[in-house]
């Protein structure tokens, strides 16, 4: 089965071709970092316009690299949400148009479910059930993944996501956008114990996250130094901030594994590309007898390969999406107990945390 995946939820226009759910024939990603960098963040209107410019050549490139045409496809998978609605509509409308013209079935995919399944694009794959941490610019959540379409929310951020905190701290420090990769690089030359930034553990058994207080602590530290005309070491700030984020992410997801007596953990999302997070989770997992799985760097950030994979499992249940289905900005998978009520396939069977 040949599936074309399309992703346009934020500021990457991406397309990929996947065969039989296990062979990636192409994976094309067009980034808009240069467009949004002068503004220190993604400008929704500009993102939508760039998607309009990029969607056709990106899809054409993915088909060409895979050595196929639209006539060879068996189905389409496209990100339906969550994300910037204007950006999502570009990819969703494009997929609907191809579906209508070529008579191909298409399925709307939840972006977070795509991240959750991304480890299955690697040679080493987790076994069900497993605990998954999705850490990105928009999301920091923990899930119990029972199978490819049955997922239970265990914890989520109450305010800023981890990636969002990285970018905002990067902006405070005057670093280039996006701040996450720059902070990670500078942190290598800093002391992670130099500044005792706080960790928000919340209630003893909570698997939720909160990074707004940490962000404020960094802002206060920098302000106080500037007010007193005292110098500060940027690599130390980066390393100390990064360590506070990484420690909480690791401990929370490993606590979830302990609570549910599961010895497999998967890491996904843009922040999963952070070297310190990857190394820390691997080391802690080895110490506690938990096997860690994570996608390669190019599959951590937004991509269409994971959307095609999620679509493959939707098609395996005979699911398709109707043409009147709309994009959504908030994911049902982050709303315990809720699911889609229309005729389109839900992104996953969602159950509330116990």
CB 131 within 8 A of CB 257: yes
Residues linked to residue 31 through DSSP beta bridges, in sequence order: 12
Same domain, 128 and 97: no
Beta carbons within 8 Å of 314's beta carbon, 6+ residues apart: 77, 107, 109, 149, 345
Same domain, 272 and 346: no
Where do we find the tokens 């980034």? Answer: 31
CB 10 within 8 A of CB 84: yes
What pLDDT does 336 receive? 61
Query: What is the CATH classification number for the domain harbouring 45?
Result: 3.30.420.40
Where do we find the tokens 């998954």? Answer: 132
Lowest model confidence (mean pLDDT) among 204-213, 329-338, 342-351:
342-351
Alpha carbons 175 and 156: distance in angstroms, whole number = 28
Tokens of 134: 């999705």
Strands 291-293 and 140-145: unpaired
Same domain, 144 and 257: yes
Same domain, 158 and 272: yes
pTM for the full predicted model: 0.91
Same domain, 111 and 259: no
Average pLDDT over residues 93-118: 96
Same domain, 55 and 168: no
What pLDDT does 350 receive? 40
- For the stretch 110-125, pLDDT in tens is 999 999 999 999 999 9
Same domain, 44 and 166: no
Same domain, 145 and 277: yes
How far is CA 178 from each of CA 6, 23, 129, rounded to the nearest angstrom?
23, 31, 34
What pLDDT does 149 receive? 85
Alpha carbons 280 and 278: distance in angstroms, whole number = 6
Same domain, 173 and 48: no
Tally the domains of the chain.
Answer: 2
Name the band, by pLDDT with cuts 50, 70 and 90, for residue 137.
Answer: confident
Same domain, 213 and 345: no
Same domain, 61 and 95: yes
Average pLDDT over residues 62-69: 98
Average pLDDT over residues 156-179: 94
What pLDDT does 353 receive? 39
Q: Cα-atom radius of gyration of the chain, to the nearest Å?
A: 20
Average pLDDT over residues 149-158: 94
- Domain range for 164: 123-294
Beta carbons within 8 Å of 224's beta carbon, 6+ residues apart: none
Average pLDDT over residues 58-79: 98
Among 279, 294, 309, the domain boundary falls at 294
Tokens of 236: 């130390």
pLDDT surpasses 80 at 62? yes
Same domain, 75 and 167: no
Helix (H, G, I), strand (E, B) or coil at 107: strand
């Amino acid at each position: 089965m040949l599936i074309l995946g399309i992703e346009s939820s934020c500021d990457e226009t991406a397309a990929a071709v996947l065969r039989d759910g296990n062979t990636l024939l192409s994976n094309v990603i067009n980034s808009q970092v240069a467009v949004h960098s002068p503004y220190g963040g993604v400008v929704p209107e500009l993102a939508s316009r760039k998607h309009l410019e990029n969607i056709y050549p990106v899809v054409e490139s993915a088909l060409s690299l895979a050595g196929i045409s639209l006539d060879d496809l068996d189905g389409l998978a496209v990100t339906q949400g969550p994300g910037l609605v204007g950006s999502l509509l570009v990819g969703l409308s494009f997929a609907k148009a191809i579906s209508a013209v070529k008579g191909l079935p298409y399925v709307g995919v939840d972006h977070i479910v795509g991240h959750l399944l991304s480890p299955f694009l690697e040679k080493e794959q987790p076994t069900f059930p497993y605990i998954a941490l999705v850490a990105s610019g928009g999301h920091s959540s923990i899930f119990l993944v029972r199978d490819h379409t049955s997922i239970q929310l265990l914890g989520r951020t109450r305010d800023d996501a981890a990636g969002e905190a990285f970018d905002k701290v990067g902006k405070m420090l005057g670093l280039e956008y996006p701040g996450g990769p720059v902070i990670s690089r500078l942190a290598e030359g800093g002391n992670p114990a130099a500044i005792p930034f706080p960790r928000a553990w919340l209630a003893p058994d909570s698997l939720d996250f909160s990074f707004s207080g940490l962000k404020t602590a960094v802002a206060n530290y920098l302000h106080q130094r500037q007010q007193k005309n005292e110098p500060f070491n940027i690599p130390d700030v980066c390393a100390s901030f990064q360590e506070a984020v990484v420690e909480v992410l690791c401990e929370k997801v490993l606590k979830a594994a302990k609570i549910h007596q599961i010895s497999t953990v998967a890491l996904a999302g843009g922040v999963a590309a952070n070297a310190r997070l990857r190394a820390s989770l691997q080391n802690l997992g080895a110490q506690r007898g938990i096997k860690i799985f994570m996608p390669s760097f190019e599959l951590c950030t937004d991509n269409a390969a994971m959307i095609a994979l999620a679509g493959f499992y939707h098609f395996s249940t005979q699911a398709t999406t109707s043409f009147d289905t709309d994009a959504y900005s908030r994911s049902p998978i982050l709303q315990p107990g809720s699911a889609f009520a229309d005729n389109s396939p839900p992104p996953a069977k969602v159950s509330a945390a116990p």
